[in-house]
Amino acid sequence: MKQPQQAINTYNQELNLRRTLGDRTGEADTLYNIAVTERDRGNLNGALTQIETTIKIVEDVRTQVTSQDLRTSYFASVQKYYQFYIDLLMRLHKQQPSKGYDTLALNASERARARSLLELLNEANADIRAGVNPKLLELEHTLQQQIDARGKRLIELSNNQNSQALETEIAALLEQVRQVQAQIRTTSPRYAALTQPQPLKLAEIQQQVLDDNTLLLEYSLGEERSYLWAVTKTNITSYELPKREDIEAATQKFRDALTIPSQRTIPEAAKAAAPLSQILLTPVAKQLENKRLVVVSDGALQYIPFAALTAPNSQQKSYEPLINTHVIITLPSASTIALLRHEHQGRKIAPKKVVVLADPVFSSSDERVKHQSTPQPSTTHNSHSLPELQLSRAMRESGITFDRLRFTRQEAEQILSLVPPQESQQMFDFAASRTTATSPQLQQYRIIHFATHGILNSKHPELSGVVLSLVDETGKPQNGFLRLQDVFNLNLSAELVVLSACETGLGEEVKGEGIVGLTRGFMYAGSPRVVVSLWSVDDEGTSELMKIFYTKMWRQGLQPAAALRAAQIEMWRNQNFAAPYYWAAFTLQGEWN
């Protein structure tokens, strides 16, 4: 009714009721509504006060949300609050450019990413306790079982007899769980860093992450407008970009031009890259020079290769990708890299060079299966174990079928031929299993290469994972799905994990959480770098790219980021593989030094 003061008076009454009821999440939502109303009537400073209180409540409440239904609605609202906060700070920056509001907005963007990862882990029900005292874990597990048993008993009771006593018991058990979890936090700082993140502020990013030759490009997509912060070691510049919807439309066209068989030609790629490069890179063109670009993208942008975009303001008629002039690294957040560097300081180097898991067995009808007299049921159907049900659902969500990946054997053999046998290990066929992937044996290797199907599901990120052998030698179904939560619990000494031949399930909303989850999972498990492919790539092209990539690393001594760039440039210059479809899918996330 366009009566902002009356609206605010009514919200204030609501706020008092929420506080009387002790409804903290409701209080946060009411404060957010007041902030929106204040903004709409031009009172930006008043709106800022309210949204900052909202976010403080959110961060206090974050560990206390237990109900799955509540969690889903709560986490959906949380991102809305952060987006509003960022947009408000950038509006204030526009009015008062010298006050440092753009710095506060970048800090808020980093906080939002930390929250997003936490939500993802909660959604995946990921039990991330690597390195925690097993006795504490066992005690926590036992207490949780006792709470579950009493909770079920409480539901079964048809009258109130004994229910009060059960509720008292549950409350006492919950308090014991809280005490055990507090002990886990103090004895496992890595776990605390993930579950109670302290994102870096601008000065810390400049000091701990960037060097003179590196430019950070951090994007945030919003409903009405989006933003880009360009950060060097000494300064920050910010830019307003079009709204999320417009950027996503250009992103989808670009991705289609790279991946759809009828479109994936160089002219199509160049045509689709130009408008997206105009949006994402032209504002910052003068700062790019020949610097290393560290990209923290958002939403749909996480599923496109910046390497295949064209240089901004390029007047050339021929297609020249951005990778030709820049090393490009992607990160889930700028704070990630500081955490990785801290983690890997002084760590012992693994003794052996590389282990390759390739050419797994997905079906009992595979010719490698012995004794095929009695057909076995498919491992992804009529199965009751949770991982198998999740794999079945992941396949449905992503429209994926698991055909044998014959070329991965050739790819693996080419990689292994570059190193002495005593420095490497091949895990082919049935040995390319979940059991192998989770065994302590993998701690001996500096590089772990998975040449198999992967699932990066943006609609349900918890269904992301790596698919390994789904049957044993006799064709009997087995759990071969290395899920997101399993990845977080690996204990690796690797310097690099390569996920080759990924399939990508984009879901209805292209958010990017699937790729963030999987890469962060391997980083948390111990690898400071992850190479992942953004779509299911050509057999021969992947094999060729990987051969060049490993040759550049091992024979020419290049760091992984530089080696990947050199391999991609070589592929682009090869007439047979010049289209970005063949080489641009692979992106390196993490440490570049």
The token duo for 9 is 């008076």
Query: In this predicted structure, what is the pLDDT of residue 272?
Result: 92
> 155 CB contacts (<8 Å, ≥6 apart)?
none
Residue-wise DSSP of 259-288: HSTTT-SHHHHHHHHHHHHHHHTGGGHHHH
Q: pLDDT at position 385, please?
A: 63
* Residue among 293, 253, 297, 298 at smallest CA distance from 275: 253
Q: Which of the 8 DSSP states describes residue 29?
A: H
Query: Hunting for tokens 């239904």 — which residue is that?
Result: 69
Please state which CATH number belongs to domain 4-123.
1.25.40.10
Q: Which residues of 442-476 are buried (b: 16+ CB within 10 A; e: fewer)?
A: bbebbbbbbbbbbbbbbbbbbbbbbbbbbbbeebe
Residues 6+ apart with CB under 8 A from 179: none
Three-state secondary structure call for residue 28: helix
Find the helix or strand (DSSP H, E) in which 294 lies.
strand 292-296
Cβ burial 500-529 (10 Å sphere, 16+ → b, else e): bbbbbbbbeebbbbbbbbbbbbbbbbbbbb
Q: Which three-class secondary structure state does DSSP give residue 321? A: strand
pLDDT at 144: 76
Report which of 334, 305, 291, 308 is spatially closest to residue 111, judged by C-alpha positions. Answer: 334
Select the CATH number that applies to the domain covering 202-335 from these four: 3.30.70, 1.20.1630, 2.40.128, 3.30.420. 3.30.420
Could you list the pLDDT tens digit for every one of the 593 residues in the chain? 889 999 999 999 999 998 887 788 889 999 999 999 999 999 999 999 999 999 888 877 665 554 445 555 566 667 889 999 999 999 999 999 999 999 999 999 988 887 766 666 665 556 666 567 778 878 887 887 887 677 667 666 645 556 778 778 878 887 888 788 778 777 776 666 666 667 889 999 999 899 999 999 999 999 999 999 999 999 999 999 999 999 999 999 999 999 888 888 899 999 999 999 999 999 999 999 889 999 999 988 988 999 999 988 665 567 899 999 999 999 988 988 887 887 788 788 999 999 999 989 988 888 888 865 454 444 444 445 666 666 776 666 555 667 777 788 888 999 999 999 999 999 998 999 999 999 999 999 999 999 888 887 777 777 788 989 998 888 888 888 898 888 888 889 999 999 986 666 555 555 666 677 788 888 888 899 999 888 887 778 888 899 999 999 999 999 999 999 999 999 999 999 999 999 999 999 999 98
Given a contact cutoff of 8 angstroms between Cβ atoms, the answer to whether 518 and 465 are in contact is yes
Burial 162-201 (b: 16+ CB within 10 A, else e): eeeeeeeebeebeeebeebeeebeeebebbeebbebebbe
Which sign, positive or negative, has the C-alpha torsion 319, 574, 590, 497? positive
Give one word for 131, left, alpha or beta, with left for phi > 0 and alpha for psi -120 to 50.
Answer: left
Residue with the two structure tokens 């959480």? 513
Residue 340: the pLDDT is 81
* Cβ within 8 Å of residue 244, ≥6 positions away: 221, 222, 223, 226, 299
- pTM score, whole prediction: 0.83
What's the pLDDT score for residue 380?
A: 44
Contact present, 521 and 473 (Cβ < 8 Å): no
Give the dihedral of Cα atoms 6, 12, 17, 22; nearest 10 deg.
Answer: 150
DSSP string over 556-580? S---HHHHHHHHHHHHHTSGGG-SH
DSSP H helices, 334-421, are: 334-344, 386-398, 407-416
Instruction: Provide the token pair at 240.
Output: 């307003």
Residue 425: the pLDDT is 93
Whole-number pLDDT of residue 381: 44
Dist CA 458 CA 502 (whole Å): 14
At residue 328, φ and ψ (nearest 5 deg) are -125, 125
421 Cβ neighbours under 8 A, 6+ residues apart: none
Q: If you count them, how many residues does the chain have?
A: 593
SS3 515: helix
Give the whole-angstrom CA distance, residue 392 versus residue 380. 5
Helix, strand, coil content of the chain in percent (nearest 5): 55, 15, 30
